[in-house]
Amino acid sequence: MEQVIFDYTRQDASGASCTAHAWAKVPEPLSPDQRRQWKERAKTLLARHNATLVAHYYVDGDLQDLALETGGCVADSLEMARFGRDHASKTLVVAGVRFMGETAKILSPDKRVLMPDLDATCSLDLGCPPQDFAAFCDAHPDRRVVVYANTSAAVKARADWMVTSSCALAIVRHLKEQGEKVLWAPDKHLGRYIQEQTGADMLMWNGACIVHDEFKGMELELLKREHPGALVLVHPESPRNVVEQADVVGSTSQLLQAVVQGGAREYIVATDNGILHRMRQLAPDKVLIEAPTAGNSATCKSCAHCPWMAMNALQGVVTCLEQGSGEITIPESTRSQALGCIERMLDFVARHPASIAKPAQGFVPNVGAA
Ligand code: SF4
């Protein structure tokens, strides 16, 4: 079975400057009074503009609460895409990173899609430049091109399928059953995990998420010894020696579900620590422990929290609605080409609901505070 790693140097990895730039743009923390005031302003503006807030689990807890209190959603990127597409609102405010705003715009070209900060990007997106990716595809025309959601509209325009971590396994398994060979991009860890699970013939791009890439297998082993009863929950963007120690491997929604449904009291969580906010709300009696990274004093660029997700704040929601700033625009030719791979995924998920994780009891992914 062929498995070739495309030897590509990540743009962002070199980009210490890039993550430094992101951290420099993270708004200062607010006092409790300021948080209340900004939240009220944001609520007023969302209502005035008939806008809906669609937030990712990794963003600031106040934004997640605001989304749920105003009829928006807090979700993983698959659910964000579906929710934004199906909502009647003419303006979507996407609190997350740029590819999420682009996906919303691709699916809903007639809606205005705003983001608190358009500079909020992703190391996977940065590490997969469209021109280089096109050359990679051109060199392997016999393969079905499957890209992770964490890519630019231009990269999606070149793909046959888009997948998220919720549905990637099911879709690659389906392609293997059809006898297809896969060209996968950009996350090498997720790609390796899927290849191992499905046995599919996959040619890999060499990208990584700066958050999950930093979880450490040896330190996790030591932490597990200190908490022998804890269940280990791991996002598959993590390195193999971390994934191998997991009790549950899954997308953010699937990990959340595991905490809500799990019988254990303690959980070691290897994904962005922004998700702990929603986990605590949905499972207040559970003890949540962050999986170890290299730590602040070492080489850690993210220390388990994405700097680009951290750029999203209440102030940004107010500013984008007041000023109409942070609007996502995509050339129509790119948008229409990118639409095909996203619709193919959404159709697949609609036709194979059993292959995607089901919500846990008491788990309300979309509307209303749970
Ligand atoms: S957490 Fe990782 S995959 Fe998610 S946006 Fe940040 S860099 Fe990208």
Are residues 313 and 243 part of one domain? Answer: no
Are residues 318 and 234 part of one domain? Answer: no
User: Whole-model pTM?
Assistant: 0.91
Are residues 299 and 225 part of one domain? Answer: yes
Are residues 287 and 254 part of one domain? Answer: yes
**190 CB within 6 A, ligand 1:** no
Residue 262 belongs to domain spanning = 212-304
pLDDT(364) > 60? no
Are residues 112 and 30 part of one domain? Answer: yes
Q: Is residue 221 part of a domain?
A: yes
pLDDT(361) > 50? no
Domain end position, chosen among 257, 288, 304: 304
The pLDDT, as a whole number, for residue 294 is 76
Q: Is residue 345 part of a domain?
A: no
Are residues 67 and 112 part of one domain? Answer: yes
The pLDDT, as a whole number, for residue 354 is 77
Are residues 299 and 249 part of one domain? Answer: yes
The pLDDT, as a whole number, for residue 369 is 28
What does the CA dihedral 235, 278, 95, 346 come to, rounded to 10 degrees? 60
Q: Is residue 293 part of a domain?
A: yes
Are residues 104 and 27 part of one domain? Answer: yes
The pLDDT, as a whole number, for residue 327 is 97
pLDDT(2) > 90? no
pLDDT tier for residue 4 given thresholds of 50, 70 and 90: very low
Q: Is residue 49 part of a domain?
A: yes
The pLDDT, as a whole number, for residue 370 is 26
Q: Ligand 1 pocket check: which of 308, 311, 312 to mutate, most ligand atoms within 8 Å of Cβ?
A: 308
The residues facing 54 across adjacent strands are 73, 94
Are residues 106 and 22 part of one domain? Answer: yes
The pLDDT, as a whole number, for residue 78 is 81
Are residues 321 and 245 part of one domain? Answer: no
Are residues 113 and 77 part of one domain? Answer: yes
pLDDT(367) > 50? no
pLDDT tier for residue 16 given thresholds of 50, 70 and 90: very low
The pLDDT, as a whole number, for residue 295 is 63
pLDDT(171) > 60? yes
Are residues 231 and 325 part of one domain? Answer: no
**Protein residue closest via CA to atom 3 of ligand 1:** 209
The pLDDT, as a whole number, for residue 296 is 56
Long-range contacts, stretch 261-265, CB < 8 angstroms, 24+ apart: 261/360, 261/361, 262/231, 262/286, 264/229, 264/230, 264/231, 265/229
**Protein residue closest via CA to atom 6 of ligand 1:** 306
Q: How far is the CA of 123 from the centre of ligand 1 (A)?
A: 6
Q: How confident is the model over 218-273, as pLDDT tens digits?
A: 999 999 999 999 999 999 999 999 999 999 999 999 999 999 999 999 999 999 99
Q: How confident is the model over 283-341, as pLDDT tens digits?
A: 999 999 999 997 655 567 778 999 999 999 999 999 999 999 999 999 999 999 999 99
Q: Is residue 258 part of a domain?
A: yes
pLDDT tier for residue 5 given thresholds of 50, 70 and 90: very low
Q: How far is the CA of 166 from the centre of ligand 1 (A)?
A: 15
**272 CB within 6 A, ligand 1:** yes
Q: Is residue 184 part of a domain?
A: no
Q: Is residue 324 part of a domain?
A: yes
Total domains in the chain come to 2
Q: Is residue 196 part of a domain?
A: no
pLDDT(365) > 60? no
Q: Ligand 1 pocket check: which of 150, 255, 305 to mutate, most ligand atoms within 8 Å of Cβ?
A: 150
**283 CB within 6 A, ligand 1:** no
Residue 59 is part of a domain; what is its CATH number? 3.40.50.10800
Q: How confident is the model over 78-122, as pLDDT tens digits?
A: 889 899 999 999 999 999 999 999 999 999 999 999 999 999 999
Q: How far is the CA of 44 from the centre of ligand 1 (A)?
A: 30
**Over the chain, what is the mean pLDDT?**
90
